[in-house]
Amino acid sequence: MTQNAPQQKIQFPLFKDFVPPAIRPWIYVFFAIVFQLSDCVYLGSLNAMVGNTPLIREDVMMCGFFALVGVNMPFPLLFRLKFRSNNKAMLTICTVTILVASFVTMITSFMPVLCLFCFIAGFCKLWGTFECMSNIQLWMTPKRDFSVFFPLLYCIVLGDIYLSEVLSNHMAYYYDWHYMQWLMIGLLLIILLILLTTTKVFHIMKMVPLYGVDWLGGVLWAAWILELIYICNYGEYFNWFVSPNIRIAACAAVVTGYFCINRMRHIHHPFISPDSWKYKNLWPMLLLFFLSEIFAATPNVLQNSMTEGLLHFDYLSVSNLSWWMIAGIFLGNAITFLWVNRMHLSYIRLLFIGFTALVVYQIYMYLIISSEANIELLYIPTVLRGMGYTIVFCSLTIYLEEMMPFQHFFHGLFIVGIIRTGLGAAIGSALYSFGMRYSIANNIAHYNGNVDSVLLSARHIPIAEAISRFMQQMQMISIKQLYGWTALVGTGFIILLLFYDTTPVRSTLKRMPYWKVFGRKIKKEVIVKR
């Protein structure tokens, strides 16, 4: 009844007989890569969108957050959706939906429409990726070992994030920011053509209706997360709680959060099972995810302020740093695979390596910040950042799978995703944005007494230029200070990790159910719900 180490030949019944078996799994890989590249609104072309549309920077970022929350929402529903229809129909639905969303977001600047379609596209993005990767899981690891599966998966997931940034930035620079949408529309049309010509209808089992799904609970959870993100994203722009917009959003978040928790505790089949929150190691894991997102937020605020605002590197040079980030991602996944799957060493020591790499990045940036820094100095710290973030991200996900039983694992992914795909990044960016404003104001007040003497000693320099140089120096000092404080906090944290330990990796492989077995279990639960 359970699947431990099947050694049979892997079948891909979705495809017609004329499709060579050797390329069938690679078609799924191609589908997954395209799905992960499909963001509708691309942050790599953020500056181009702000310059050519009525949108401000915060609007574009909010669209991106809607997409991230949309990506997180399907986790509790993935198997219900999998057993509701056939593989061809689901992949077709995801492809067409993302295609339509890409076209709509290209022709409108109306925020409610943009946010709605970004959310829908994000939902289908994960749904489609899951359908692809779940079908080739046994091809990737016949034992269904997640210490093999997740490092391979995150090469695609994390790698595509920065690949899309490179592509969208180059498209916006050489052509127009719409070209990235046109590229994705073309790739999605190729997927649609492949689905129509090379695949057939295949049912893994009799369809299970979507009875008993807590749709209202899902809406409430999404609304709560987005309300909190709205506060973090627009807080600096609206001057935080001085603005009625932020106050209203804060009140709405409190009310919505209450209904989320109350509904989860009192209905029979909630969107997120309350038992999923009761694992003793879950909360430390959420803290680790949150800290990693805080550390990962420094490039979005501090590094970008330095490279674009102070040093005036061109967009392509900054964008090309993503290639070094991708190299770090592949290196981090390789280290995680070897550490967990081959050497079977402690997770906490692997996390120590990951967080150390993130802290070394902060220290490195602190040391190289100057008005004479060049882009080449950023290559090594970018690799370290990519490696460290990937190690933390991937190893914690593997540990989550080992900590939770299968029936709660995808609920756990949703809980982690609340921090990982939305709140962590939004809160981190908000903290550093607020820190930048406070630090610049404090430094101006501190050094203001020297301004007059500076101006007197530089009478040959126009006053406006002298003041501009002074403000640039204050901004650079502030960036350096924030990197320094982050490095100090991070150093203290990794020292604490040395005194903390968890259960070592498992000595035996967790037994995973066949999809059909799990589908029959869900079907029985649906019958009971009816």
HEC per residue, 254-319: HHHHHHHHHHHHHCCCCCCCHHHHCCCCHHHHHHHHHHHHHHHCHHHHHHHHHHHHHCCCCHHHHH
Q: What is the predicted pLDDT for the residue at 7?
A: 44
pTM as predicted: 0.85
Tokens of 472: 């640039």
Q: What is the predicted pLDDT for the residue at 4?
A: 45
User: What CA–CA distance (Å, rounded) separates 213 from 271?
Assistant: 7
Cβ atoms within 10 Å of 59's Cβ, excluding its own? 21
DSSP string computed for 210-233: -TT--HHHHHHHHHHHHHHHHHHH
Q: What is the predicted pLDDT for the residue at 59?
A: 87
Q: What is the predicted pLDDT for the residue at 47?
A: 77
Q: What is the predicted pLDDT for the residue at 95?
A: 93
Q: Which amino acid is at 261?
A: I
- Spans of the chain below 50 pLDDT: 1-8, 456, 504-505, 507-509, 527-528
User: What CA–CA distance (Å, rounded) separates 173 from 316?
Assistant: 8
Q: Are the C-beta atoms of residues 90 and 82 closer than 8 Å to each other?
A: yes
Q: Are the C-beta atoms of residues 385 and 361 closer than 8 Å to each other?
A: yes
Q: What is the predicted pLDDT for the residue at 33?
A: 92
Q: What is the predicted pLDDT for the residue at 256?
A: 92
Closest CA to 271 of 232, 315, 217: 217
CA distances from 266 to 74, 214, 223 (A): 22, 12, 19
User: What CA–CA distance (Å, rounded) separates 48 from 292?
Assistant: 29
30: Cβ–Cβ under 8 A, 6 or more apart, which residues? 191
User: What CA–CA distance (Å, rounded) separates 448 from 471?
Assistant: 11
Q: What is the predicted pLDDT for the residue at 383?
A: 93
HEC per residue, 473-516: HHHHHHHHHHHHHHHHHHHHHHHHHCCCCCCCCCCCCCCEECHH
Q: What is the predicted pLDDT for the residue at 2?
A: 42
